[in-house]
Amino acid sequence: MLIDSHCHLDYLDRNGVDLDEVVARAGRAGVGLMVTICTKVTEFPTILAIAERFPNVYCSVGIHPHEAESEPEVTAERLVELAQNPKVVGIGETGLDYFYEHSPREAQQKSFRAHIAAARETGLPLIVHTRDADEDTIGIMRDEYEKGAYPGLIHCFSSSAWLAREAVSMGFGISVSGIVTFKTAEALRDAVAEVAMDKLLVETDAPYLAPVPNRGKQNEPAFVVHTAERLADLKGVPLSELEERTTENFLSLFKKVNPSALAA
């Protein structure tokens, strides 16, 4: 059984995809649970409604760094309040994106710290997006860690081995997406090869980043199997072991998830 630790079912729904079919295809592929991720707190009710519709779908609450300026400023207290719903199992996605810089860096950093405070208070994992911002991401994470520990993961890992080592040293997980299957991703595969098995998770980031052999298609949770196969090959373990370990890692990090929610 696999878990897609990060997807955007609301985006698929918006694109006209039947979510009942998406969840059914995931189940047939051996994907027993999904976390649909919030990128705009103003759209949280929509994300929550999707999670409440399916027994094996959970969600997060947060603001993507791209939206740090356009969304209403969110406080840690507000995030904590919204996270009380039993279907909310993570805080984010949040973090820093200096590649596109759709929001000013200062706004991104302020939002990131508010999310970290909420993760610290709730004990829910912080879901971190980072692109072209390795040093500032780790700098803020370490600065906040000194105020008190908090759980989390680097989602859709595509950064340096240094960032992975720094994040793991704080107890963070590393979530691997379909990028690991791309022909040009040799440096990423080298970095992921260094990460211990007990820190690895898998995700799709659907509808983006469909893995080989589905490149060019709209991604969906069922396709996480291809990422898992490539990761198992990279780590030199059978797929069954990779499935077991990443599922254990997910449940260890996302402690609010009821294991009985995994589809049979």
Is 129 part of any known ligand binding site?
yes
- 3-class state of residue 165 by DSSP: helix
Q: Which residues contact 224 (CB under 8 A, 6 or more apart)?
A: 2, 4, 29, 31, 178, 202, 203, 204, 211
DSSP 101-120: -SS-HHHHHHHHHHHHHHHH
Residues in the chain: 264
Is 205 part of any known ligand binding site?
yes
Is 8 part of any known ligand binding site?
yes
Record the tokens describing residue 195, joined without a space.
Answer: 């990460």
Angle at 33 between CA 27 and CA 34, to 5 degrees: 110
Cα dihedral: 242, 247, 250, 255 (round 10): -150
Cβ atoms 16, 47 nearer than 8 A: no
> Nearest-CA neighbor of 202 among 89, 9, 34?
34
Is 66 part of any known ligand binding site?
no
Is 93 part of any known ligand binding site?
yes
Alpha-carbon distance of 25 to 29, in angstroms, equals: 6
> Nearest-CA neighbor of 233 among 253, 252, 212?
212
Query: Residues within the annotated binding site for a divalent metal cation?
Result: 6, 8, 93, 129, 155, 205
